[in-house]
Structure 1
């Protein structure tokens, strides 16, 4: 088994011991320790570690972020992780802008820490290989549609995005449910700016403005949130959606779109620019009826070939997922079992199921869908 070499940067001796105790797996070796200064930069340049772990207690000042940014620009073959006891939305955003691949709390479990180290290293190595070969990964834009409220399409969109990020993918998540979008709640984000500020930006829509008006979740995904007030929804037009997706494509491997539960100018523009549309429905008669109407419209729009079906809250009742397969003449792409307790706790805490309840059957069902989506891209 190949060893992964770490260098730990911290000004706190206790944190050196703390990180050492977190690196419990045999394939992860701490090659050295240093502080945030010229000595630390020299050590990293000389050891060329796979991953640098920045461990910081208390508020992280601009000087620390400037050092991390300089490290990112200087040692381009090393992934950077941040461990801090002051993890917040602002901290995650500033860390991501400085080049940190993932930010985590100091009390992260050793198993999660070791997995994050492996994932960060693997992603960085793949990026280096892609750059060396001139390879450009084709971005895939995936829309999640429910046709009515309560199907779980936002839950699926959010957890798919985070699940793909767990696999080391570069992921963006767009909340296009412009009137009632709650992606930010499911990720415990409090956006200062949203898609409204983006489309009104005088400089136009470009990757810099998209990053400026988006947020970075602790999982690493870039999130463009829905308006804070439903009255602003009409300011977003189909042409804006098309431009946003086109601009994002070169920078993300996956663009996940949480679509509104109806067909309008915005949702149709998104559908036209999506590579796949995942219809999320429950195993009941109303969902079956709604899915039929939705499929008819998508067929009329000549996008039926993009459609995949996911059955959420599956129960062995009168309507089963086999009924969907018979009606539409296609296999159901994935099935997620019913677990209201796990879903409600995830929503109330703002923590995705694939992170907060990764050992539950529901999380396994979702990750099976995520793995299937990712496998199709290869």
Structure 2
């Protein structure tokens, strides 16, 4: 069986030399070299997701690979893919480097300049170790990328004040409520608000773990605050200047330890990029970027995404943007945000309803938000979309259900209950709606009848004046003209015509119909008009 080897080298000359020598080794299949740590982890993730058998037996890591330091990269590869043998390629073969490489999990070091015999020996030893490890693990699906434990979800803000901490807290609470073990980490090291949002006062923080090389379960437990909601909290330091003590390597170590002990690790990265938050975003299984529907926030989101790409932290297409404080009438919608930032956008948006949050935020009781509130429902629906909510299987009865009938986010179940509540509310309010519509229609008929009576009186007065001036029957002409200008349903109106001095006056009394023309409602309206007489009467 041939040995598959994946070289990792940013130097093109070294990469060519490695491939050239590897191709000369018997029973080996050297793959095309990858240039950096991000490309390596992406490649291994793709292979592991297809099948653990697709993973290479040996990975050669050059000491100057970036952006993640070589030893940290080796540690991450060994932790996530334990069946892969990793060899460090370095010019320094001293005891210090060898010890550090062994501590990181490397199976050996390969000295530079490259030599055929040394390369053959190191590759053979690493391949034998990988084969033994695969036999031990049985090549089960659990021995692939998922062997490192739970998921890591980072929540970053396009700028300050967009709702990053609220989103992180509610997503963690939603996952916790579904039965998962959840750790909430505040990596907004200078301005972290998780403690304030949850009304927590705790003297330990992530800084206490930064200088510890071996994070045992006991050490980790002592540094975390067990919140009454069930969340495990790792808070930011009370003194913001101490946040610099949490380095990139410390952040990777902390998140790796938490990941191994929790189903989900939610990380609040804030809106400022630090070494620790950059490491978290790079390691995350899913990275969220919270943005509000205003021009400044969208521009900030675009800058953040471009910054992540330039630093090779995360690609735009691997980032999911969440639109907070969304209104349907706003000009900025999810499609526009996606087009500007180049990222994917969550289908679920969080509505703008600050009044629901003001009391809970001021009291530090964000975990007690009203379950009927639109903001909480929106954030928990987002958790369902992200797959953070687990739906327990329900026992089936006598009838067989279709496959997948009990799968999906819990928000689907909640929506069914909401639909039932809406139906009951509609049934209760529908009669009131009918009454209001009826009253409005009756008022419209009343006004229409009055306008008809006034117009008929005006036409009758003018016709009567003209008839009197011509020596004809003024009253008859007046009544005929007034009747002619009344619709059929109002033809029974009482019309009174007669002169009074120099003014010929007409009065029309029309009956107001009840809901429908022709139905007598018992009300009448009166329209009066007058016209000056012409000549002597």
Considering the TM-score relative to the shorter chain, is it more than 0.5?
yes
Matches within 5 A, 1:133-282: 138-201=149-212, 204-282=214-292
Q: Find 2:323's aligned residue among 294, 297, 311.
A: 311
Q: Find 1:335's aligned residue among 334, 349, 359.
A: 349
1:302-353 deviation per Cα after TM superposition (whole angstroms, max 9, x unaligned): 5224311101111232322221123245552131001111222221122225
RCO higher in structure (CA 8 A, sep ≥6): 1
Instruction: Answer yes or no: is the 8 Å Cα contact 1:275–1:306 preserved in 2.
Output: no
Report the CA distance between 1:233 and its aligned residue. 1.2
Q: Secondary structure at the match of 1:179?
A: coil
Report the CA distance between 1:148 and its aligned residue. 1.5
Equivalent residue, structure 1, for 2:481: none
Q: Measure, in 1, the Cα distance between the counterparts of 2:190 and 2:303.
A: 22
Matches within 5 A, 1:1-378: 138-201=149-212, 204-300=214-310, 301=312, 303-304=314-315, 305-315=317-327, 316-329=329-342, 331-333=344-346, 334-352=348-366, 355-374=368-387
Instruction: Answer yes or no: is the 8 Å Cα contact 1:162–1:352 preserved in 2.
Output: no
The structure-2 alpha-carbon separation of the partners of 1:143 and 1:360, relative to structure 1 and needing over 3 Å to count, comes to: same
Report the CA distance between 1:167 and its aligned residue. 0.7
Instruction: Answer yes or no: is the 8 Å Cα contact 2:175–2:389 preserved in 1.
Output: no
Q: Secondary structure at the match of 1:313?
A: coil
Question: Structure 1 unaligned runs (5+)?
Answer: 1-132
1:254-307 deviation per Cα after TM superposition (whole angstroms, max 9, x unaligned): 000000312221121111211111000000000111111111122231522431
Q: Secondary structure at the match of 2:349?
A: strand
1:193-233 deviation per Cα after TM superposition (whole angstroms, max 9, x unaligned): 111222245x7423221110110111111000000111211
Report the CA distance between 1:237 and its aligned residue. 0.6
Instruction: Answer yes or no: is the 8 Å Cα contact 1:199–1:205 preserved in 2.
Output: no
Report the CA distance between 1:360 and its aligned residue. 0.8
Report the CA distance between 1:181 and its aligned residue. 0.3
Report the CA distance between 1:138 and its aligned residue. 4.3
Instruction: Answer yes or no: is the 8 Å Cα contact 1:140–1:274 preserved in 2.
Output: yes
In the alignment of these two chains, the number of paired residues is 244
Instruction: Answer yes or no: is the 8 Å Cα contact 1:173–1:258 preserved in 2.
Output: yes
Q: Measure, in 2, the Cα distance between the counterparts of 1:273 and 1:137.
A: 12
Instruction: Answer yes or no: is the 8 Å Cα contact 2:157–2:291 preserved in 1.
Output: yes
State the TM-score, normalizing by the size of structure 2: 0.43
Instruction: Answer yes or no: is the 8 Å Cα contact 1:165–1:220 preserved in 2.
Output: yes
State the TM-score, normalizing by the size of structure 1: 0.60
Q: Measure, in 2, the Cα distance between the counterparts of 1:349 and 1:180.
A: 18
1:89-144 deviation per Cα after TM superposition (whole angstroms, max 9, x unaligned): xxxxxxxxxxxxxxxxxxxxxxxxxxxxxxxxxxxxxxxxxxxx999794110000
Instruction: Answer yes or no: is the 8 Å Cα contact 2:360–2:366 preserved in 1.
Output: yes
Question: Structure 2 unaligned runs (5+)?
Answer: 1-141, 391-407, 409-537
The structure-2 alpha-carbon separation of the partners of 1:375 and 1:212, relative to structure 1 and needing over 3 Å to count, comes to: closer
Q: Measure, in 2, the Cα distance between the counterparts of 1:299 and 1:233.
A: 24
- Please provide the CA RMSD for this pair: 2.4
Q: Measure, in 2, the Cα distance between the counterparts of 1:264 and 1:195.
A: 14
Report the CA distance between 1:180 and its aligned residue. 0.6
Q: Measure, in 2, the Cα distance between the counterparts of 1:193 and 1:298.
A: 30
The structure-2 alpha-carbon separation of the partners of 1:179 and 1:330, relative to structure 1 and needing over 3 Å to count, comes to: closer
Instruction: Answer yes or no: is the 8 Å Cα contact 2:207–2:245 preserved in 1.
Output: yes
Report the CA distance between 1:175 and its aligned residue. 0.3
